[in-house]
Amino acid sequence: MRSRGTAARLGLARLQRLVVVAALGLAACGPGAAQDCPFQTPVCPDPQPSYTDEVGAIINVYCVACHGPGGQESTMPFASWQDITTHSYAGPMQRQLLACLMPPPDAPPLPPDKKATLIGWLTCGAPNN
């Protein structure tokens, strides 16, 4: 009897430790962190954003300072539709934007409406429109 009681207490202590570990895990990568970069399922909007009318300008302002001639990432240039298409950069660009990794924290932030336009255009397959 006594030994069973000890076993139960040991079990409880282990359970409490597990709960503490779980709570720590939640605090480190739980809802707070997710809010800074909310998950979103990308969709191709209708009408599709136009590269000529708006997307090209967004990329030029927020990406090309680095991803263009003379920039720190000039070996991965986004300066023209041709650059992006020839090297199949659309997928990597979309992933970096969805993960909130680009533009980097020390660069001017991409406003949410412009980010949505750019992600939408990339999701449409980066058309030359």
Q: Interface with ligand HEC by CB under 6 A: which residues?
A: 62-63, 65-67, 72-73, 76, 92-93, 96-97, 102-104, 107, 110
Compute the distance between CA of residue 95 and CA of residue 90 in angstroms, rounded to an integer: 9
Of the pair 53, 106, the CB lying nearest ligand HEC is at: 106
Of the pair 47, 70, the CB lying nearest ligand HEC is at: 70
Among residues 48, 65, 55, 38, the alpha carbon closest in space to that of 118 is found at 55
CB of 83 to ligand HEC, least distance (A): 12
Compute the distance between CA of residue 87 and CA of residue 74 in angstroms, rounded to an integer: 13
Among residues 124, 122, 11, 125, the alpha carbon closest in space to that of 58 is found at 122
CB of 105 to ligand HEC, least distance (A): 9
CB of 33 to ligand HEC, least distance (A): 19
Of the pair 19, 107, the CB lying nearest ligand HEC is at: 107
Of the pair 11, 109, the CB lying nearest ligand HEC is at: 109
CB of 6 to ligand HEC, least distance (A): 54
